[in-house]
Amino acid sequence: MVGGFYKPTTPGLEASPFVKFTLRWPQYRVWKVPLEALVDTGSPFTALSPRDAVRLQIPLSRLERHPELPTIFFAGLNFTPRIAKGAELIFRDKNGNDHPIKHESLYALEPTTPRAKWEEKGAFRLPNIIGMDFLKKWRVKTLSDPSLGEFELEFREE
């Protein structure tokens, strides 16, 4: 079980479920960076936000584009899905054990607008996303009680 928490994605909105993880991506000198992600059962994909990609100095334009997805429309913006090959998401369970997962359909989202406009257009307000592709592939069960502010991910055994 991996404990999560609730927080609003935008001030003034209802709180949504989030989970903390550590990103490891040696190819881009990202060794163990703590991040958090919105657990979004309405999203078909799992992605690293433009804000964190820029903060971690990931060269988005050098990452391979997804061959069958020219763009992703998310939160009112268009993004080029860049494949984050070799990136590893590490989740820590309640017992303090780390569970590294190389999720091969992890994307780094590159806004299609000119880079100078990313902040103005709102691309940096978006969170990282844990989507249905991740939840299904890794057989993750979500346990949620918003009224108590409780949220957990359960990674089920094969």
- At 94, list the tokens: 């309640």
Each residue's pLDDT, cut to its tens digit, for the chain (158 residues) gives: 899 999 998 888 899 999 999 999 999 999 999 999 999 999 999 999 999 999 999 999 999 998 888 888 888 899 999 999 999 999 999 999 999 999 988 999 999 999 999 999 989 999 999 999 999 999 999 999 998 989 999 988 65
* β pairing state of 88-92 and 15-25: antiparallel
- The answer as to CATH 2.40.70.10 being correct for domain 2-6+16-155 is yes
| Total-model pTM | 0.92
Q: Where are the domains of the chain?
A: 2-6+16-155
Q: Which amino acid is at 20?
A: K
Which burial class, exposed, middle or buried, applies to 42 when counting CB atoms under 10 A from its CB (0-12, 13-18, 19+)?
exposed
DSSP assignment of 52-90, as one string? HHHHTT--GGGSPBPSS-S-EEETTEEEEEEE-TT-EEE
Q: Provide the sign of the torsion angle of the four alpha carbons 64, 41, 117, 48, taken in this order.
A: negative
Whether residue 143 contacts residue 135, with contact meaning beta carbons closer than 8 Å, is answered with: no
